[in-house]
Each structure stands twice: as C-alpha cells, then as structure tokens.
Structure 1
Amino acid sequence: MRNLVSSTAFLLCLLFMACSPATNIQSEPAPGFALSTYRQFAFMEVSSEVEDAGPNYQGHIHFLKQEIAQQLEQRGLRQVEAADEADLLINLGIVVDKQVQTRETNIITDPPRYIGQRRYTWQSKEVEVGRYNVGTVSVHLVDPVQNELVWQGTAERIISDRPEKLREQIEKGIAQLVEEIPS
C-alpha cells in the first residue's frame, strides 16, 4: 500500500512537471567554435516590418538585446556599437505565432445537436478552448572576417500576455540559451 501511494505521488509530480510550459532550447555550434576566441560583439540590424507587432514590440526587442548583451558580457565579451569594430556579430530572429487550443466534442457525454423537424445528430467537432502565443527567438553568431555562421541557437516557449511575466520569461530563456554557447 505504501509503495502504491508513493508511486502515485511520483507519477502526479511528473504529470504536473510535464504540463508546465518550458523553454525548448536548441543549439548548434560550428566545428571548432569557442566563444573565448572573440573579444567584442555588436548587433546586426533587426527588421521591424512586422504586421500585428503590438505597441511594445520595439521595447521587447530592446530588452532582448540588453539581456543577450548582459549574458555575453558576463562571459567576457564587450559590446561595441559599430558593427565594423566587432569581431562577432549577432543576428536576431523573432517570431510570435498565435495558436488556438481546441478540444474535440465527445459524442457520449455532450448533448446532441438539434437540426430541425425532430432530427438530432451526434457529431464530434473541434471546439475552441483558448488562444495563446508561442514565441521563438533565434540567435545567430557570425564571424564577420570569415563571413560565416559560427553558432546558432533557438529558444521557444509559450509566452505570457503580461509584460512583467514576459520580461521574466525572456531573462530566463536568454540565460539558458547563452549558457549553451561553447566557451
């Protein structure tokens, strides 16, 4: 009995952890790449021609750049403003995808649909339950001398609509992403 209770509690913990949104990180370095061989970095221009970008889009890009700069400075690099002075360029890609969460109706528990003249029909169909946004940030590190991509990484997760929660998610996601860059 004791084993049953403890294994049930363990399975419930795993279930709750699996349901919590996590940041999906992917990283791919070029062969022989090491961040320690670079001294200074600069950001490439981010295109801001986005439909439905929202009122705080530029503010979020600025905050994202600040977080990346802070993480790279903690790793020993220095940010410069002019791209021609940097020995490492950072290219950002930002995608926010609006998703619709649905569920399928159940023909056993959901009531039938009335279609007139005493005709009822049981059909399962997709019902919208909610809407959410999935944000993806891709970071490309480019060696301007060789004009080659030396590292690329992406961070993807469900993002919050609340600005303070979104900033917290950006901080954690960028910290996890920059941690994946080989030293």
Structure 2
Amino acid sequence: MKQLIVLVFTVLIFTQCSTTRVFNTDAATDATPASYKTYGFYEFTAAGDTNSATFQLRVEILKNVIKAEMNARGYQFVPTRPDLLINIGILVKQQIQTRQTNWQNDGRFTYMGQRNYTWKSEEIEVGRYKEGTLTLHIVETARNKMIWQGSMSGIVPEKPDTKNNTAGKAMKKLFEKYPFRAGVGI
C-alpha cells in the first residue's frame, strides 16, 4: 500500500511539472464575443537570425496548434476577411547553462610559489539551450482592437516536434486563459 501511495505521488509530481510558463494574459472588457465566428492570421514576418532550416516548419506547427485550439472553441478559419486576426510574436534566445566549480570536487590547490596556495572558483559551461517567448494578440478586425493577449515562455526543443505534442500541450495551457467561444456572449 505504501508503495502505491509513493507511485501515485510520483506520477502526480511529474505530470504537473511543465517547462512552459503562461503569463501576461488579458482580455478586453468591451469585446463582443457573440459576433466573432471566424479567424485568420496576420502575415508573419521575421527578422534577426531566423535562417534556420526548421524555422518555417516550426511556424507552421505553431499555426496548426493555434488552429486546433480556435477550432475547439467553435471558430472557423478563413483566409480572407475574418472576424478575428491572430498575431504571433516569437522571441528566441540562446542560453548557456553553467555551474560553479568548488575545491572539493573540481580540483586541487595550485602552488604559486613561496608557500602561496590559491584556488579560484570558475563558471563552467555544461550546456546550451534555446529559450523562447511566444505572444499571441487576437484582434477584432472590424474595430482593429485587441480583444485578448497572452504570453508563454519555455525551452524550445532541439528538433521540431512534427506530431505537435510539445507545442500542442503548451498552446492548450495558454488557451486555458482565453475566455471567449465563437458566437457566445459573455
């Protein structure tokens, strides 16, 4: 019985842990959600170091998971003249993971002459990773007014997840904060 409790507790801890953090979600108070039935995307332009071979693939993956979340809320995708336009903002930074050395594990004192022994702590690089921040702005096209914004950040996987598992889970977490459904009033 004790082992079963430990197993259940361990599973709960690992299923609740996520590298995605949702923040800065805000909905407009004057939105008219009953009038929104369709959506589309703003033209996506990129600047900076976006020449990676997987960049366009990753953008398409993001658009597909956003479409899945919007469709689940009753919206219909239309390429021209939608009720709502979605703007995607992406910022990706290369991060360096380091650790600090200590004299117990990482070395010995060095002799500097005349009985002067020294040891200096150093930062050692142990890995590199990319951290990304994604911001969505959903805009009512008739009034050109933003009705919702949400942001999330997390670690960008090395390889694109073509099955949309990682991006889908992260986008689902972000859209949990989206308060509207297609054609339904507040």
- Is TM (by shorter chain) over 0.5? yes
2:168 to 143, 168, 171: 171
Contact residue 25 and residue 153 of structure 1 kept, 8 A: yes
Query: Larger relative contact order (C-alpha < 8 A, sep ≥ 6)?
Result: 2
Output aligned runs, 1:113-124, within 5 Å. Answer: 114=110, 117=113, 120-124=117-121
* Structure 1 counterpart of 2:98: 102
Contact residue 58 and residue 160 of structure 2 kept, 8 A: no
CA distance in 2, matches of 1:167, 1:157: 15
* Structure 2 counterpart of 1:70: 68
* Structure 2 counterpart of 1:134: 131
The Cα shift of 1:17 comes to: 4.3
Query: What secondary structure, in the 3-state scheme, does the structure 1 residue paired with 2:133 have?
Result: strand
* Structure 1 counterpart of 2:47: 49
The Cα shift of 1:69 comes to: 1.2
CA distance in 2, matches of 1:175, 1:90: 16
* Structure 2 counterpart of 1:156: 153
Contact residue 57 and residue 160 of structure 2 kept, 8 A: no
- 1:181 matched to 2:178? The reply is yes
Q: Which runs of 5+ in 2 are unaligned?
A: 181-186
Contact residue 20 and residue 152 of structure 2 kept, 8 A: yes
TM score, norm. by length of structure 1: 0.80
Contact residue 94 and residue 137 of structure 1 kept, 8 A: yes
CA distance in 1, matches of 2:34, 2:108: 66
* Structure 2 counterpart of 1:92: 88
* Cα distance change, pair 143–52 in 1 and its aligned pair in 2 (3 A): closer
* Cα offsets for 1:4-56 (capped at 9, x unmatched): x9xxx69x949x64995421112211225464541111100111233154101
The Cα shift of 1:158 comes to: 1.2
Contact residue 161 and residue 167 of structure 2 kept, 8 A: no
Query: What secondary structure, in the 3-state scheme, does the structure 2 residue paired with 1:138 have?
Result: strand
Work out the percentage of aligned pairs sharing the same amino acid.
29
Aligned residues: 175
Query: What secondary structure, in the 3-state scheme, does the structure 2 residue paired with 1:163 have?
Result: coil
* Cα distance change, pair 39–54 in 1 and its aligned pair in 2 (3 A): same
Q: Which runs of 5+ in 1 are unaligned?
A: none
* Cα offsets for 1:111-158 (capped at 9, x unmatched): 236476586421112111111111221110011222221110112111
Contact residue 135 and residue 159 of structure 1 kept, 8 A: yes
